[in-house]
Amino acid sequence: METLNITSATKLLYESNLPVFTIKTLRDMFVTRLPDTLYVYLRKLIRMGILVKLERGIYVLVHRTPDAFLIANVLHGPSYISCESALNMHGILSQFPYEVTSVTTNKPIQKTVQERLYSYGHIQPSLYWGYEKVRGALIAHPEKAILDQAYFAARGLRQFPLDEYEVSRIDKNRLASYMKRMPHTPPVQVILDKIQKEVLL
């Protein structure tokens, strides 16, 4: 690390093709276990307009800001994009959500980063499934996004405007299979019955 200069550090950053950098990835990249030395480089890279700090310990290249969905995955994890953001991406909900919505097994939280709101709803680990990687970001299948939305609506945390959804884009077989894996508490069951009646029948 002592022989690494800003030019070579910048070259390593751009050649890595990583969309987001954490302290760990930077430490591994620069081959150092000396925090003071690493932070000296970080301050220089930020001051020179090469890196920008999203929040504590998370950085991106100024000229290579990743997609908001990927940023959402990194800001608070484990998490995947779901609810309104996933439904809009899949063409099921036409209204573009102001916030980037995710679910997490961690604590629920909201964060504003670079003037964009990121919100995370808490689900039990047993419900953390039904997603895939799309362009580097973990995003719920449309059927799971609907059920996540229903789950939060049953708890009074979100709306569930089923009549506004473009249900023709939903895989009914997958939806039926996923519904069996949802908790069947009375509040959730009410919405599942509505989905069964209005989408599956």
Residues of the chain with pLDDT under 70: 1-4, 32-35
| pLDDT tens per residue, range 16-30 | 988 899 999 998 888
Contacts of 132 (CB under 8 A, 6+ apart): 138, 139, 141
User: What pTM, to 2 d.p., does this model score?
Assistant: 0.90
User: At the top level of CATH, which class does the domain 6-61 belong to?
Assistant: mainly alpha
pLDDT at 65: 82
pLDDT at 3: 56
| pLDDT tens per residue, range 184-196 | 999 999 999 999 9
Write down the domain spans for the chain.
6-61, 68-200
pLDDT at 166: 95
pLDDT at 2: 47
